[in-house]
Amino acid sequence: MDQETPVYLHRLPVPGEDRYVSLALVNSRFRVSHGQVDLLDGAEAAHLWLVRHEALPDRVPLNGRQAGRLRGLREALRALFEAHGNGGPPPAGALGTLNEALAAAPSTPRLAWGADGPRRDDVPDAGNPAAAALFLLAEDAAELLTGGDAAQLTECAAPGCDRWFLRSHGARRWCTTQCGNRVRAARAYAARKGTSP
């Protein structure tokens, strides 16, 4: 592990983040033992996150307003995920934020021809790369919430963890084994403490 890099950047990704970058976006704000971590705190950090997730070219700068829109989209997605998890309607503002991101850089359908033959490609408007990045994230979230994986979307059940993941099986309740181990250790400690005088 690089000694310069904060330990929270080495956290294991949760199931589903490899398939849905919107899930990684929602999980870019989380808690660790010493407090809250926000991987989008400031324009430079938001730019780095977008570049690392291949949503924005490195050469394209990101200003404070655009970074704020990215954080706003993250909070809207979190609210939409919570509404989906609770089975209730989402806040109107969250739905509006997602739809604004979808409208900011609408995609143009194209026919692409690769080694596997023809396929449809929807290419977002590249005139504004930051808006195109938000569009891609919003489109990814819409696909997650309306697709076959939506039933597996769940919030980690470990106290103090607020990350979302895709369950690989119905009994899974924690985003990582670390969260599961913390819960089991706390239960074991409480059981020992409860039986001792």
For residue 2, being part of any structural domain is answered with no
Question: Residue 19 pLDDT > 80, yes or no?
Answer: yes
- Residue 179 included in any domain: yes
Give the pLDDT band of residue 197 (cuts 50, 70, 90). very low
Please determine, for residue 33, whether its predicted confidence score (pLDDT) is greater than 80: no
- The verdict on residue 23 lying in a domain is yes
Structural domain of 179: 7-195
Q: Is the model's pLDDT at 112 over the cut of 70?
A: yes
**CA torsion sign, 33 to 34 to 38 to 43?**
negative
Residue 1 in domain? no
pLDDT, greater one: 66 or 105:
66
Distance (Å, whole) CA 184 – CA 48: 35
Considering the entire predicted model, what is its pTM? Answer: 0.82
Domain count, the chain: 1
| CATH code, domain carrying 55 | 1.10.3300.10
- In a domain? residue 16: yes
Contact 121, 130 (CB under 8 A): no
On whether residue 57 sits in a domain, the answer given is yes
Q: How confident is the model at residue 145 (pLDDT cuts 50, 70, 90)?
A: very high
Helices 64-86 & 92-104 angle (0-180, nearest 10): 130
